[in-house]
Structure 1
Amino acid sequence: MIDLQYFGDIILYLKFTQNTNVKISPYKNYQRSLKLNRMRLMGANGPLLLTVPLEGGRDQQAALKDLRISYAEPWQRIHWRGIHDNYRKAPWFDDYAPGLEELFRKQEKFLYDLNLKTTEWVLKRLKLNVDFLTENKNKREEVLATTQEESERIVPENWPVYQQVFSERHGFAPNLGILDLLLCEGPLAVQYLKKLQQQ
């Protein structure tokens, strides 16, 4: 079972290179520790954490499919500006920027739908064909146990290095959000994931 994340970490996309059929659950209860509404990037001043605000706060126990996104603040504009300002010098930014900006113009009601759309958008750019199998509400079989906590236990010790926008200032930062890898490596991002698989 894989928990879809908001432009999830690189380690999540490593799982997509290993499995063409992935089971997802819209019925699982939200847990703050899963970080499903947070994207981790690197900015000029260090780590950049972009969080999608939720109606009712982050401590609610609703099913994932029922988590409503809050638009009380202009978080989409803030996130896009954060990506633009910190990644506009990345080699592949100009290629992916129009499609990315379009994603930030759409107002999804639910976090689950936003995470599914951002994941599908990235998979298309990586040219990875993945079929999502939605868990049956009344039959909870777990095919892949890949929650965020479990992913953290399988992080490789030696990460292959790729050139990041701020690597000269901050050094190489492993396992950032997938957008960091995609904007820096472009079509070679999938080759990086395959190399990571061998670690």
Structure 2
Amino acid sequence: MNTLLHPSYFPSISQMATIIQSDAVTFEVEDNFQKQTNRNRTYIYSPNGIQLLNIPVKHSNKGHQKTKDIVIENDFDWQKQHFKSLEAGYRSSPFFEFFEDDFRPFFEKKHTYLMELNFETLALIEKCLRLPISFTKTEEYFHEVGADVLDCRTLINGKKDPNLFESYSQVFDDKHGFINNLSVLDLIFNEGKFALEYLKTQKVVL
């Protein structure tokens, strides 16, 4: 079964579990950009609870823009802000320092296009999990999919995602309890080498 997904900014656990458990993965790259989705945002655990990390993008007055044409707004240093937020949330986690040198260069680099950045985050996750992820990209927008394709594009909708997963230890769970389906970064920084096994065993619903 081929699975169809949108590339996202440091994918959610539901998206990453879907990728790991799929026989084949195709990323939708011909879609129109939609605001308030995980195309340009992700959620992490902060000392105050759940925190949104949002990538600012430049919007056109021409109406619909394809996601692959979306340009990042780099007039202020959002990368520095995001990395500081990760440090505040995960510096005391078991595996943050182990992976820190892999992530720091990403947040020091200026990116132009959102789509390219999202695929770069996937490559980073692939490195952390030590699992090569092969995929293809669409050449046209899939309005309908065949019986041999599992359409998981709705998982890009972030807070509308209905999935509930098994709890694992999180840095501030003594204050705020377990927070479900955050960015896969939360799982990696807290579980390290055990993250991959977790992703293989979680059931994803659409």
Is residue 195 from structure 1 mapped to residue 198 from structure 2 by the alignment? no
| Cα displacement (A) at 1:140 | 6.8
CA distance in 2, matches of 1:149, 1:139: 16
Mapped contact 2:13–2:181 kept (Cα < 8 A): yes
Distance 1:185 1:60, change over 3 A: farther
Distance 1:172 1:130, change over 3 A: same
Is residue 113 from structure 1 mapped to residue 116 from structure 2 by the alignment? yes
Q: Which runs of 5+ in 1 are unaligned?
A: none
Higher mean alpha-carbon deviation, 168-177 vs 26-35, is at 26-35
Distance 1:42 1:154, change over 3 A: closer
| Cα displacement (A) at 1:127 | 2.6
Is residue 155 from structure 1 mapped to residue 163 from structure 2 by the alignment? yes
CA distance in 1, matches of 2:57, 2:90: 26
Partner of residue 48, structure 1: 51
| Cα displacement (A) at 1:60 | 5.8
Which of residues 1, 17, 21 is equivalent to 1:14? 17
Partner of residue 181, structure 2: 175
CA distance in 1, matches of 2:151, 2:125: 22
Distance 1:155 1:107, change over 3 A: same
Alignment partner of 2:150: what SS? coil
Partner of residue 92, structure 1: 95
| Cα displacement (A) at 1:33 | 4.3
Partner of residue 77, structure 2: 74
| Cα displacement (A) at 1:35 | 2.6
Distance 1:141 1:117, change over 3 A: farther
Distance 1:131 1:60, change over 3 A: farther
| Cα displacement (A) at 1:34 | 2.9
Alignment partner of 1:124: what SS? helix
| Cα displacement (A) at 1:94 | 0.6
Partner of residue 64, structure 1: 67
| Cα displacement (A) at 1:19 | 1.4
The answer to which structure has the higher strand fraction is 2
- TM-score computed with the length of structure 1 as normaliser: 0.89
Aligned residues: 196
Higher mean alpha-carbon deviation, 43-52 vs 134-143, is at 134-143
Mapped contact 1:23–1:144 kept (Cα < 8 A): no
| Cα displacement (A) at 1:86 | 1.6
Identity of aligned residues (%): 28
Distance 1:5 1:198, change over 3 A: closer
| Cα displacement (A) at 1:134 | 1.1
Q: 1:155 is matched by which residue type in structure 2?
A: N
Distance 1:189 1:109, change over 3 A: same
Q: 1:196 is matched by which residue type in structure 2?
A: Q
Give CA-to-partner distance per residue, 1:127-160, whole Å, 9 cap, x none: 333212111138877433111358856624xx22
Matches within 5 A, 1:28-47: 28-47=31-50
Is residue 26 from structure 1 mapped to residue 32 from structure 2 by the alignment? no
Q: 1:188 is matched by which residue type in structure 2?
A: F
Mapped contact 1:87–1:165 kept (Cα < 8 A): yes
Give CA-to-partner distance per residue, 1:49-105, whole Å, 9 cap, x none: 010000127x96211110000001110000000101221000000111111111111
Coordinate RMSD, CA, aligned: 2.4
Q: Which runs of 5+ in 2 are unaligned?
A: none
